[in-house]
Structure 1
Amino acid sequence: MRRPGAAARTTVATRRPRVRPSRAWVLGLASAVVLLVSVAVAVTIGPSDLTARDVASVVVAKITGGDSGLTGIQDGIVWDLRLPRTVLAALCGAGLAVCGVVLQSLLRNPLADPFVLGISSGASTGAVAIVVLGVGAGSVGLATGAFAGALVAFGLVLVLATAAGGTTDRVVLAGVAATQLFSALTSFIVFTAADAEQTRGVLFWLLGSLASATWTDVAACAVVVLVGLVACLVSASSLDAFTFGSDAAASLGVGVGRTRLLLLAVTALMTAVIVSTSGAIGFVGLVLPHVARALVGVRHRLVLPISALVGAVFLVWVDTAARTVLDPQELPVGVATALIGVPGFVLVMLRRRAAR
């Protein structure tokens, strides 16, 4: 007798040919090389005479304590301004893409992304409360407020979803409700307490910006994203089972409630840290998982790392374009991802329809 879910696995297997491990490894190594080259080249782009060799010299000098051979200004441009921003962009892109993969699998919704749980809106409310109401100061206060708001929003979503039955559709509905609530609170705070200068700064941050990136932000984001990616990879087989529904996952021995809560908490933590350092950046977690699945199939032990690499490369170049295309002005990176992500998502959907 076939186990429950076997027919679904057979159907999916016939629709999507299995990717050979050798091809996946080659694709992964190629993506990693492209990411390293992208970071090195992106740092050189801008109003200064720098090369990839100069970037490498600065990195080696900082690690070994030697001399890079560049001027103090060039050294500062690479190490203090562009390199932390570019590395943070790569980490944010990787984290958002991984969160998108997990949420689309857990919620069985191809339109799910890291902000479907209302975490982005909660983080925005927390940051605005810190800046506008004067509690705390500087980037530390902003990040702390965003992180606290994101966790409060996630907690509210869990309470609402549990009270409504705890199913995946209830989680989505609770996320929509939380998003509207915290968006309204953010608008209320801005309109009632912020002056013109504060309003302009807050709105720019809400649209997504990596301009204030520091190595402290990079370290915090790196730890959370890497730990989150490892946790998701450990649960890759469970995510494969969730693709066929909660009942099929339970029949295969997956602890549905425990696994779902754990992975939702991981994605919430990753999104909270990313939003606290970069603001709200959309469409990365929505579009890039579909690109990864088109490259390596649906098995999560392949989709997760490829999504992370593709998301990192994508956001590195989008942020580079955002800070240079309108020079000396800077386009919020969230606006740039939307301008690129919307047509990209339309192409992905058209391709999925043609493949059926």
Structure 2
Amino acid sequence: MEKSRRNFIKNSAIASALVAAAPAKSFAILHQDMKPNDQTIGQGEFTYKADKNWAKISVNSNPLANCHEMVQDSKGRLIMLGDHTHNNILIFDKSGNLLDYWGTSLPGGHGLSISKEGGEDFLLLTDCGWAQDRTGNNYGQSGQVLKTTLDGKLIFAIGHPRTIGIYKDDEPFKPTETAVAPNGDIYVADGYGSDYIIHYNSKGQYINHFGGHHNINKDHNLVNAHGVTVDIRDKNNPTLICTSREENCFKVFTLDGKFIKRIDMPGMYVCRAVINEQNIYAGVCWSKDAAGKRFDYSGFVTVLDAKDKVVSNPGGAAPVYKNGVLQQTLQSVNPIFQHGHDVCVDEDKNVYVCQWNAYHTAPVKLIRV
């Protein structure tokens, strides 16, 4: 079967140009008879069977490094961003068939959000500015945020905040995530840089920023601001859920950056909050015990209800509350995941889990039972 792919030419942080090549032909890898694991994971109403062989791709034609994030578009397709420059973007159907792929210029491909404007879907892609050379050593560059069409055509790029005078010379910019408000405003989480949340309008023009490390009230600080999410569950009072991963918590702010509350997640190094109906889902990259010892390859998924209570930990131990306080939570005895990085929830409440540092594995599908 003939395969081709688009070339997504690298755009600088201050963005002068991006060239999108001709569209790739859609294709699907032949389905293989692979059954989900028999093990049921999760607790309560959020239990699942894990299908580790959901993605029907060949590592020879579509190699993977880290599968960082996934969103679903208006057609029901599942769009994944990773950091392998053979194919930064992979597009699947819900059965795991590969429909399309593109992107060769995001060695730090990390954050992926989708916005719907005038009946059309757009992507916001975040390159965190970190990559690995052929020997596995990390090297750094300045990060960037790109807004594109679903097939990779550049709309605009957001460069280093220093270029507009809001960062000092010694403040790095290595963005990890974006979120889009109902009015089109864009929030950029500088989670591997200076830990600010930077607020832009729909055209990428700066409005304000908050978070960082130097607030008098430490609750206003963010430490590894890995994710940001616009929460519109209360349409009259939309908020921002910001990840402070090193503090094992989410912090909630108003849309203009005023601190409201924190949601503690003891033991869990949570990634971005993903909202589906009244629930929050998140990947957990690592977990640590009550003594503070962090364990590599100890990730899972967590689910919270509308009152910010953890109700299930697929791949992790059952949540335990004492006197209303969530206790330290670790990976389950029979692990399913290595490092949970992001989740996507479809209309059937199945969950697709993307992982960092997981032996180059494809996303895992959790089938709701």
Give TM-score scaled by structure 2 length: 0.26
Pick the structure with more helix per residue: 1
Give TM-score scaled by structure 1 length: 0.26
Structure with the larger RCO, 1 or 2 (CA within 8 Å, 6+ apart):
1
Rg bigger for which structure?
1
